[in-house]
Amino acid sequence: MHPASSIILFTTLSGLGYGLAAMLGLGLLDPALVSTKIAHVLAILLIAGGLLASTLHLGNPQRAWRALSQWRSSWLSREGVMAVATFMPLLASAWASVFHDMRLPITGLIGAAMCGVTVYCTAMIYASLRAIQAWNTPLTPACYLLFSLAGGLVLAASFATLGEGLSKWIALAGTVALAAAWGVKWAWWKRLRTMSPISTPASATGLGAIGTVRLFERPHVNENYLTREMGYKVARKHAAKLSLLATAAGGVLPCLFLSIAALSGTWMAATLCTLAVAGFALGMLVERWLFFAEARHAVMNYYGG
Amino acid sequence: MTLLPSAPPPKKLGLVIDLDVCVGCHACVISCKEWNTGGYGSALSDQDPYGADVTGTFLNRIHTFEIVPEGGEIVGEAGDARIVHFPKSCLHCDDAPCVTVCPTGASYKREEDGIVLVDEDKCIGCGLCAWSCAYGAREMDLAAGVMKKCTLCVDRIYNETLAEVDRVPSCVRTCPANARHYGDLSDPGSNVSILVAERGGFDLMPEQGTRPVNKYLPPRPRDRLADKAMPLAENSDGAKGFFAWLDGVLDRI
Ligand code: SF4
Ligand code: SF4
Ligand code: SF4
């Protein structure tokens, strides 16, 4: 699948934003501190920025509101509805912290739960597509949810170092969430790289009974929408290296930095946590790029790819 | 509404495509584009139409496959491989994932005859339906920013201003080899259902769970070239009469 930068940005930014918003909703940070107020605003900006990026690839964005109508069947529509609805508790929580130095416990909990549901809907857009076997597994929403949680905790840790100081509990939770997220991601990669395709040129043409089916000629000499959108291929050796790079930058380093930060003084901890956030964000971008680039679409059986 | 019809449609209109007969001439590709660029919805645009990098939107395309039987080899025209031309347009699936994933209600399956269509005034051009279709039957029109797909020529088959013989899809009407057949696949007595029953019509990628309406007819078994006698051009042993005389004269020259 073609790794469109608008979609990669959307899933990365909104994943981070929802994670941070959920941690704020759970009350991990002191609502009266300036750092927490900034965190509230940042979470909302990340989510809004992600949603905006996602409309960039639409052919007719002016009627994007119509995407809220088919929640009964479509995960994309459900995601849109949830995203809009989740803004309510998040904005209320942010308002309470920024202007009244307080936390709304019930609203916060509801907001955190809705963040989780929204991220789940995003993941199900991909996981529900049978034509893309790599995505069509419950491991996909598991990865999205765990990465969002881990991202939220890493961000919360770094805001804590700027405010009340990093508690050992947040650092520990962040480390555990990171390990869990990358663990599940490696299970996802293992499945992707060892599965046998459910659809083949033989089943796509129904001609497997006669012999080995190979593409002889494409329908046209140049590319078309389908080959551009779904014909992306990434070399296996590069994919393997990139997944190691993503895990190192987005998993190993943040784990290390969080652990050391928990035992360090304020400035050291703040620096380390900022680096952990940067590493995690980089790791996520690479992971999301691979998520698309490595996924093979069943239609490529008709295009020899 | 992107829920699929709750009851099975009373009619299942679709195509039956004969892989034994298709000669790969692409006439249906062109007639489909010609009819549909001026018909249902926005035009089927081309990008860089007179340049080197021309691409465009098509609702029907012909792929060509080479099938090598087990132990067979490809040696020019004398090998065992066979070439099969493979026309492909929307299969109007009963369990069409392209319909249920659509967030706007633009994609729908008609209750009355099962045709899968896009209401272009609602389509936001998100492309998710094209992702969900394993068959590559949907292409985004880059000029209009909306999704295009085979309409089963819904503006021909019910069009009473056309002569009766023309009330079939454009590709079916055009095919010079008669490789494309149109009819109601829910009626076991229809022309298309009989073809499917007699020739062993099959579904493409049944494992995708889409239950396509369109069916494909397999190529008929072929004689192995190796089992045939040597062509006469290589061998003049059996020549008689005038040809025997000519053979002798030419040998002597
Ligand atoms: S062939 Fe593709 S576009 Fe047509 S109904 Fe089936 S899934 Fe939808
Ligand atoms: S591209 Fe149009 S028809 Fe397809 S899913 Fe998006 S809104 Fe629906
Ligand atoms: S039925 Fe009509 S729209 Fe569909 S492939 Fe044939 S000519 Fe094109």
Instruction: Note the pLDDT tens digit of each residue in B167-204.
Output: 999 999 999 999 999 999 999 999 999 999 999 999 99
Q: How confident is the model at residue B248 (pLDDT cuts 50, 70, 90)?
A: confident
Q: Which ligand is closest to the CA of B30, given by its number?
A: 3
Query: Is B3 among the domain residues?
Result: no
Contact B29, B58 (CB under 8 A): yes
A54-98 pLDDT per residue, tens:
888 899 999 999 999 999 999 999 999 999 999 999 999 999 999
A98-111 pLDDT per residue, tens:
999 999 999 999 99
Query: Quick check: CB of B123 below 6 Å from ligand 2?
Result: yes
The confidence score (pLDDT) of residue B238 equals 75
Query: Is B91 among the domain residues?
Result: yes
The confidence score (pLDDT) of residue B230 equals 57
Find the largest Cα–Cα distance for chain B: 83
Query: Is B4 among the domain residues?
Result: no
The confidence score (pLDDT) of residue B247 equals 85
Q: Say if the Cβ atoms of B205 and A70 lie within 8 Å.
A: no
- Contact of A196 with chain B, judged by CB distance below 8 Å, is answered with no
- Contact of A66 with chain B, judged by CB distance below 8 Å, is answered with yes
- B61/chain A closest Cα distance in angstroms: 6
Q: What is the mean pLDDT of residues A143-148?
A: 98
Q: Say if the Cβ atoms of A75 and B106 lie within 8 Å.
A: no
- A37/chain B closest Cα distance in angstroms: 35
Phi, psi of B250, deg, nearest 5: -65, -35
Query: Quick check: CB of B109 below 6 Å from ligand 1?
Result: no
In this predicted structure, which of A198-202, B36-40, B103-107 has the lowest mean pLDDT?
A: B36-40
Probe site for chain B from A55, A65, A74, A213 (most B CB atoms < 10 A): A74
In this predicted structure, which of A201-210, B33-42, B173-182, B232-241 has the lowest mean pLDDT?
A: B232-241
Q: How confident is the model at residue A305 (pLDDT cuts 50, 70, 90)?
A: confident
Q: The CATH number of the domain where B204 resides is what?
A: 3.30.70.20
Mutate to test the pocket of ligand 3, among B26, B90, B116, B150 (most ligand atoms within 8 A of CB): B150
Mutate to test the pocket of ligand 3, among B61, B88, B141, B151 (most ligand atoms within 8 A of CB): B151
Q: What is the mean pLDDT of residues B73-84?
A: 72
H or E element that contains B191: helix B191-199
The confidence score (pLDDT) of residue B222 equals 79
Query: Quick check: CB of B60 below 6 Å from ligand 3?
Result: yes
In this predicted structure, which of A142-156, A238-252, B218-232 has the lowest mean pLDDT?
A: B218-232
Query: Is B95 among the domain residues?
Result: yes
Query: Quick check: CB of B147 below 6 Å from ligand 1?
Result: no
* Residues of the domain holding B155: 13-252
Interface pTM, i.e. ipTM: 0.94
Q: What is the mean pLDDT of residues A291-297?
A: 96
- Contact of B135 with chain A, judged by CB distance below 8 Å, is answered with yes
B71 has pLDDT over 90: no
The confidence score (pLDDT) of residue B77 equals 56
B240 has pLDDT over 90: no
Q: Say if the Cβ atoms of A66 and B122 lie within 8 Å.
A: yes
In this predicted structure, which of A263-277, B73-87, B156-170 has the lowest mean pLDDT?
A: B73-87
Q: How confident is the model at residue A167 (pLDDT cuts 50, 70, 90)?
A: confident
- Domains, chain A: 5-57+66-302 (1.20.1630)
- The torsion region of residue B8 among left (phi > 0), alpha (psi -120 to 50) and beta comes to beta
Query: Is B29 among the domain residues?
Result: yes
- Cα torsion B60, B62, B68, B73 to 10°: value is -170
- Which of these, A75, A76, A22, A73, lies nearest to A46 by C-alpha position? A22
Taking the alpha carbons of B231, B233, B237, B242 in that order, is the dihedral positive or negative?
positive
The confidence score (pLDDT) of residue A235 equals 80
Q: How many CB atoms lie within 10 A of CB B191?
A: 13
CA-CA distance, B192 to A94, in Å (whole number)? 63
Of A72, A125, A215, the CB nearest to B3: A72
Q: How confident is the model at residue B243 (pLDDT cuts 50, 70, 90)?
A: confident
- Which of these, A121, A145, A184, lies nearest to A15 by C-alpha position? A145
Query: Quick check: CB of B14 below 6 Å from ligand 3?
Result: no
Whole-number average pLDDT of chain B: 92
- A59/chain B closest Cα distance in angstroms: 4
The confidence score (pLDDT) of residue B202 equals 97
Q: Say if the Cβ atoms of A59 and B125 lie within 8 Å.
A: yes
Tokens (6 digits) for B55: 């691409």
Task: Provide CB contacts within 8 A for A150, sequence distance 6+.
Answer: A19, A174, A177, A178, A180, A181, A254, A280
CA-CA distance, B26 to B88, in Å (whole number)? 11
Query: Is B8 among the domain residues?
Result: no
B94 has pLDDT over 70: yes
In this predicted structure, which of A47-61, B99-113, B144-158 has the lowest mean pLDDT?
A: A47-61
Query: Quick check: CB of B118 below 6 Å from ligand 2?
Result: yes
Q: How confident is the model at residue B1 (pLDDT cuts 50, 70, 90)?
A: low
Q: How confident is the model at residue B25 (pLDDT cuts 50, 70, 90)?
A: very high
The confidence score (pLDDT) of residue A105 equals 96
Query: Is B143 among the domain residues?
Result: yes
Q: How far is the CA of A229 from the centre of ligand 3 (A)?
A: 23
Whole-number average pLDDT of chain A: 95
- What total of structural domains would you count in chain B? 1
- A56/chain B closest Cα distance in angstroms: 10
> With contacts defined as CB-CB under 8 Å, which chain A residues touch B130?
225-226, 229
B236 has pLDDT over 80: no
